[in-house]
Amino acid sequence: MNPEHGGESGLTLIETVVGLAILALTTGLVVTASLRMVDALNLQSTATSLVYRLRYLQQLAQTKDVYTQARMASYSPTYTTYEGTNRLNTYSFAPGVNYHDGYLQMPTGNFLYDSFGNAQMAGVLRLTAAGKEEDINLYMGCGWQMMGGIADESP
């Protein structure tokens, strides 16, 4: 109705429904994008903290003249660190991050450093989260750890 003719002005039911539908669609897109971003950040932070802990174990082996290791749990996204036979700590991956659904291209799930800080095993640990992946490469002998870039597996 036209307000000049004494009628009331406002939105019709159809206009309100269309506005709510647009709002719901926009909110859904924002929430989905936010969740994907959180998954990517969780993946990156897990990979970074694992590499830093491996480097710490390598330095610990060199300074204390003892072997150190990180053992990946077989069926859960956790790992435990050791100095010789003494358990240091158990760490969990960030929510949504796994490695057993990806692959562990190593003979065992152990990252072992000798008393010189040299890695006794080489391989790749692939972390996955919501269609993204992060590779951690371990090189035998020298003990280098390196992270690859985040690759998107989704089409």
| DSSP symbol at 5 | G
SS (H, E, C) 37-83: HHHHHHHHHHHHHHHHHHHHHHHHHHHHCCCEEEEECCCCCEEEEEE
Whether residue 152 is predicted with pLDDT greater than 70 in this model: the reply is no
CA distance 103 to 64: 32
| Model confidence pLDDT, tens digit, residues 2-38 | 555 555 677 788 888 888 899 888 888 888 777 778 8
69/80 Cα distance (integer angstroms) = 8
pTM: 0.71
Domains, the chain: 12-152 (3.55.40.10)
